[in-house]
């Protein structure tokens, strides 16, 4: 089982959601403890993404630790994703 950690400001979008959305995403976050595979982001970004409906959870994996960096809907994910690409440049 993997350890879950949370980056600063991971919940910027998550904290503004209603309780049913939060519950759905929280279940996915908890599944990350045992989830074997997730989609790797392209363009050299060191993140993986797990999807649940229109929601996304982005995280980094290091040894037996996964750090959550983002949780939100698809539109918010696109904003976050583009910002990460700009940071690399």
Domains in the chain, CATH or no CATH each: 3-88 (3.30.2310.20)
Q: What is the DSSP letter of 10?
A: T
**pTM for the structure as a whole:** 0.88
> b or e along 41-52 (b: 16 or more beta carbons within 10 Å of the residue's beta carbon)?
eeeebebbbbee
Strands 3-6 and 65-73: parallel
Mean pLDDT of the 14-41 span: 90
pLDDT at 42 over 80: no
Distance CA 32, CA 30 (A): 5
Average pLDDT, the chain: 88
> The tokens of 67 are what?
């750090």
> The tokens of 59 are what?
């995280």
pLDDT, tens digit, 9 for 90 and up, residues 54-80? 999 999 999 889 999 999 999 999 888
């Amino acid at each position: 089982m993997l350890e879950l950690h949370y980056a600063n400001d991971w919940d910027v979008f998550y904290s503004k959601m209603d309780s049913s959305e939060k519950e759905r995403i929280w279940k996915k976050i908890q599944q990350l403890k045992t989830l074997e595979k997730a989609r790797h982001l392209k363009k050299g970004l060191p993140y993986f993404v797990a999807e649940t409906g229109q929601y996304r959870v982005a995280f980094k994996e290091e040894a037996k630790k996964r750090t959550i960096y983002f949780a939100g809907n698809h539109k918010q994910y696109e904003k976050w994703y583009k910002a990460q690409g700009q940071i690399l440049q």
